[in-house]
A and B are shown apart, each in its own frame.
Chain A
């Protein structure tokens, strides 16, 4: 059963700690994305990767880091430099073409206190 798996579903951290969110896909998709969603707002792009070992900053990359060592995996690290890390984080993927729809995972809700 193909899809995108994000784990964990809920994550709690203390301020000042780095935390890594997992995203794995078995859809054989080339492109992967990380979005952040805040209440009542649309999704904002953090980072995206169109191919293994390559990634680009999105609109709100400050305080975040990613890696793309394998096609299936695109983990996101929320660092202590991110000023407002509490949010709902969504991972997505698609084939490399602009005419293919995005497939999303079920998200990770991060709470930092």
Chain B
């Protein structure tokens, strides 16, 4: 079945770049997403990428997609303490509207 895997924790220093990685199994996924969850809050969509793209940039965020390896990454440039949160990778189930989420990566940004 479909599965999305992420590492659980990442710690970086303020000002450094953060790279959060994700692997997925459904090669027919048309959309892949990154969501952010701050403490005590729901998930918020950060960005998404179509499967026919290999890169998407949005201000400090860069998404890279390697479709051959089914690998997705999110790079946050100049990471700030406000970026501390849990980041979820998700793929879209092409048989319906549901999203399959990874376990989430907890990003800790140290001053």
Chain A complexes with chain B = no
B residues adjacent to A (C-beta < 8 A)? none
A residues adjacent to B (C-beta < 8 A)? none
